[in-house]
Amino acid sequence: MLGEALKGHLDLLLLAILSEGPAHGYAVIESLRQRSGNLFDLPEGTIYPALHRLENQGLLRSHWSEDSLRRKRIYQLTPKGQGALSKRQEEWKKFSEAVNATAGI
Amino acid sequence: MQRREFEMKDDRIQAYLRALEHKLWLRGSSNPEIMAEIESHLLESVEAGRRQGLNVEEAEQQALERFGSVKVIANTFEKERMNWMQNILLGIAVLAGLFFAYVDSRPTWDDTGILAGGLLLISGLLTLLGHRKPWLIALAVGIWIPLHDIYLSHDFRLLLVLLFPLIGAYGGWAVRLGIRKTLHLA
């Protein structure tokens, strides 16, 4: 149930995590898990199609890092991605305020 | 180097990667960069498990469980790819439909059989390639000829032309469904 609800907002969460700095997929999913207190516990592999889509949309860019023992694909927010993040944060704020007001929370 | 490092480990992760690559290939989503990225993720996850005190087998088991089943991950990749393809296939349908309408409007053209076959085949091909809405493809391919002819003749029976792309589109959709069931992709 929570997983399904989360899917609709995954783009916002991924963009928000990457707004704090470049990171590879494993670090992104770890951050997602930790920041949500383990509530957002998606199958880790499901974030990669979303990351690739955001990259295809020009909201992220990526490169392969060779500076550790293992090659890692590092993602970072583009200026267009920063703009998209601000817009989605604003939309979410309005939406959540409306839900809270309606539900009496 | 990455490959050698990977081969030294238990073949459970290797087997998972092979199974996932096969499923992605069947869905047309296989890509060496994707596989390298997933391999890197899984190895990092195993290392994290080891740091938590798990033995190699437990750490690999945990890494695979957290990553998700082969079927779930392959389906997620396919869903993203197909979402992206929907508009492209629809665009091709509109262009093909306009082309057929242009050909049909030429005074020298009188081969209705070829045109009907063309409407049927292109609609079938586009749903076979993965468009999820056969009715929309049929409309996008087939609406232009009747629109043009109704404008000229005011004869609404010409809408029957839509039968050809409808049959083609639902035929292609059914064949795709059959192929997916046969290959256990559905």
What is the longest distance spanned by two Cα atoms in chain B?
80
- Find the CB nearest B77 among A49, A69, A71: A49
Q: What does the pLDDT read at residue B143?
A: 93
Interface test with A, best of B44, B82, B84 (most A CBs within 10 A): B44
Q: Please tell me the distance in Å from A73's CA to the nearest CA on chain B.
A: 7
Closest residue in A to B65 (Cα–Cα): A43
Residue B20 structure tokens: 């996932």
Q: Which residues of B touch A (CB under 8 A)?
A: 2, 5, 33-34, 36-38, 40-41, 43-45, 66-69, 72-73, 76-77, 79-81, 83-84
User: Measured between alpha carbons, how far is B123 from A22 in angstroms, rounded to an integer?
Assistant: 44
Q: What does the pLDDT read at residue B7?
A: 47
How many contacts does A have with B, using Cβ atoms within 8 A? 62
User: Measured between alpha carbons, how far is B184 from B24 in angstroms, rounded to an integer?
Assistant: 13
Q: What does the pLDDT read at residue B4?
A: 45
Q: Please tell me the distance in Å from B178's CA to the nearest CA on chain A.
A: 26
**Which range, of B14-18, B56-60, B108-112, averages the lowest pLDDT?**
B108-112
Q: Which residue has the higher pLDDT, B33 or B180?
A: B33
Q: pTM for this structure?
A: 0.73
Structure-derived torsion over alpha carbons of residues B46, B52, B53, B58, reported in degrees to the nearest 10: -40
What Cα–Cα distance (Å) separates residue B171 from each residue in B99, B101, B168, B185?
A: 22, 22, 5, 19
- Find the CB nearest A71 among B2, B34, B79: B2
Beta strands across the sheet bearing A60-65: A23-24, A72-77, A60-65
* E strand residue ranges, chain B: none
Residue A16 structure tokens: 């928000």
Cβ contacts (< 8 Å) between B8 and chain A: which residues? none
- Find the CB nearest B37 among A48, A53, A56: A48
User: Measured between alpha carbons, how far is B132 from B147 in angstroms, rounded to an integer?
Assistant: 24
Share of chain B above pLDDT 90, in %: 53
Cβ contacts (< 8 Å) between A43 and chain B: which residues? 66-69, 72-73
Split at pLDDT 50, 70, 90, the class of A37 is confident
Q: Which residues of A touch B (CB under 8 A)?
A: 24-26, 43-46, 48-50, 52-53, 56, 69-73
Amino acid identity of A96? Answer: S
Mean pLDDT of the region B95-115? 88
Q: Do A46 and B66 touch (CB under 8 A)?
A: no
Q: Do A26 and B38 touch (CB under 8 A)?
A: no
ipTM of the complex: 0.86
- Give the bridge partners for A64, in sequence order: A73
